[in-house]
Chain A
Amino acid sequence: MTASPSDTAATSLEELAAALAEAVGGSYEFAHGTAKVRVEKDRWVESLRAARDDFGLIFFSWLSAVDWSNQVEVGDALTEPVEERYEVIAAVADISTGLIVLFSTDLEKNNPRLASLVGVYAGANWHEREAHEMFGIEFDGHPQLIKLYLPEGFLGHPLRKSYPLLSREVKPWPGKVDVEGMPGQEDEEEPSTENPEA
Chain B
Amino acid sequence: MTTRLSADQDLVRHLSEVSVSVELQTPDMTLNIGPQHPSTHGVLRLVATVDGERAFNVQPVIGYMHRGYEKLAEVRNYPQITTLVNRIDWVSGYANEVPFIIAAERLLGVEVPERAQFIRLILTEMARIASHLVFNASYPLELGAATPLFFALRERERVLDLLESVTGGRFHPNFNRIGGVKPAQGAGSATRKVIQDLPKGFLAETRAAMDKVLATVNELEALVAGNEIILARTKGIGLIPPETAAAYGMSGPNLRASGVGFDLRKVSDYLPYGQFDFRVPTGANGDCWDRWWVRLEETRQSASIIQQAIDSIPAGPLLAKVPKIIKIPKGEIYVRAENPKGEMGYYLVSDGGLGPYRLKIRSASFSNLSILPWILEGTLIPDIIAIMGSLDFVLGDVDR
Q: Inside 8 A of A150's CB, which chain B residues have their CB?
A: 63, 66
B202 lies within 8 A of chain A by Cβ: no
Q: Inside 8 A of B353's CB, which chain A residues have their CB?
A: 75-76, 79
**What distance in Å separates the Cβ of A1 from its nearest Cβ neighbour in chain B?**
7
Whether A126 and B334, one on each chain, are in contact in the complex, defined by CB atoms closer than 8 angstroms, is no
Q: Inside 8 A of A26's CB, which chain B residues have their CB?
A: none
B219 lies within 8 A of chain A by Cβ: no
Whether B367 and A123, one on each chain, are in contact in the complex, defined by CB atoms closer than 8 angstroms, is yes
Per-position binary interface string of chain A over residues 75-87, scored 1 when its CB falls under 8 Å from any chain B CB and 0 otherwise: 1101100000000
Whether B267 and A79, one on each chain, are in contact in the complex, defined by CB atoms closer than 8 angstroms, is no
Pick from B255, B264, B274, B358 the residue with the most CB of A within 10 Å: B358
Pick from B266, B332, B367 the residue with the most CB of A within 10 Å: B332
Interface stretch of the complex, out of B21-29, B69-77, B136-144, B227-235: B69-77
A37 lies within 8 A of chain B by Cβ: no
**What distance in Å separates the Cβ of B333 from its nearest Cβ neighbour in chain A?**
4
Q: How far is the CA of A48 from the CA of B358 in the complex (A)?
A: 24
Which one of A6, A95, A97, A159 lies within 8 Å of B255 (CB-CB)? A95
Which one of A33, A79, A123, A134 lies within 8 Å of B106 (CB-CB)? A33
- Across the interface, name the chain B residue whose C-beta is closest to A5: B269
Pick from B249, B355, B360, B370 the residue with the most CB of A within 10 Å: B249
Whether A149 and B66, one on each chain, are in contact in the complex, defined by CB atoms closer than 8 angstroms, is yes
Whether A4 and B107, one on each chain, are in contact in the complex, defined by CB atoms closer than 8 angstroms, is no
Interface stretch of the complex, out of B32-40, B173-181, B239-247: B239-247
Pick from A9, A58, A74, A123 the residue with the most CB of B within 10 Å: A123
Q: Inside 8 A of B165's CB, which chain A residues have their CB?
A: none
Interface stretch of the complex, out of A15-23, A39-47, A59-67, A186-194: A59-67
- Given A58-B247, A122-B248, A178-B80, does the pair A149, B399 have CB atoms closer than 8 Å? yes
Those of A126-172 within 8 Å (CB) of chain B: 126, 134, 147-151, 158-159, 163, 165, 168
Whether A89 and B347, one on each chain, are in contact in the complex, defined by CB atoms closer than 8 angstroms, is yes
Whether A33 and B333, one on each chain, are in contact in the complex, defined by CB atoms closer than 8 angstroms, is yes
A27 lies within 8 A of chain B by Cβ: no
A121 lies within 8 A of chain B by Cβ: yes
Q: List 16 A-B contacts (CB under 8 A).
A: A1-B272, A2-B275, A32-B107, A34-B334, A60-B249, A64-B360, A66-B357, A66-B358, A74-B75, A91-B347, A98-B262, A100-B334, A126-B370, A149-B63, A158-B68, A165-B72
| Leading 9 A-B pairs by shortest Cβ distance | A98-B267, A149-B63, A75-B74, A123-B248, A123-B249, A95-B262, A6-B269, A32-B333, A149-B66
Binding site for B on A (CB under 8 A): 1-6, 9, 31-34, 36, 58-62, 64, 66-67, 74-76, 78-79, 89, 91, 95-98, 100, 102, 121-123, 125-126, 134, 147-151, 158-159, 163, 165, 168, 173, 178
User: Knowing that A9-B269, A31-B331 are A-B contacts, what are 4 other residue pairs whose CB atoms are under 8 Å apart, sorted by A's residue number?
Assistant: A6-B269, A32-B332, A75-B75, A122-B244
